Amino acid sequence: MIILVMGVSGSGKTTIGALLAATLHWQFQDADSFHPAANVAKMRRGMPLSDTDRLPWLLAMQQAIADWQQAGIHTILACSALKAEYRQRLCQAAPMKQVYLKGSFALVQQRLQQRQGHYMKADLLQSQFDTLEEPDDALVIDIDQSPEAIVAEIRKTLNI
pLDDT bucket at 106, cuts 50 / 70 / 90: very high
pLDDT bucket at 128, cuts 50 / 70 / 90: confident
- Element containing residue 154 per DSSP (H, E): helix 147-158
- pLDDT number for residue 30: 96
Look at 57-61, 106-110, 148-152 and tell me which has the smallest mean pLDDT: 106-110
**Three-class SS of 87-120:** HHHHHHHCCCEEEEEECCHHHHHHHHHHCCCCCC
Q: What pLDDT, in 10s, does the model give residues 10-29?
A: 899 999 999 999 999 999 99
Does 119 have pLDDT greater than 80?
Answer: no
Does 37 have pLDDT greater than 60?
Answer: yes
- pLDDT number for residue 115: 62
Does 104 have pLDDT greater than 80?
Answer: yes
pLDDT bucket at 116, cuts 50 / 70 / 90: low
User: pTM of the prediction?
Assistant: 0.90
Round to whole Å and give the CA distance between 64 and 51.
20
CB-neighbour burial class of residue 33 (10 A; exposed 0-12, middle 13-18, buried 19+): exposed
* pLDDT average, residue stretch 111-137: 76
Query: 76: which residues sit within 8 A by CB, 6+ positions away?
Result: 2, 3, 5, 17, 18, 20, 21, 24, 26, 27, 28, 29
Radius of gyration of the chain from Cα atoms? 15
* pLDDT average, residue stretch 111-136: 75
The per-residue pLDDT of the chain, averaged, comes to: 91
- pLDDT number for residue 44: 81
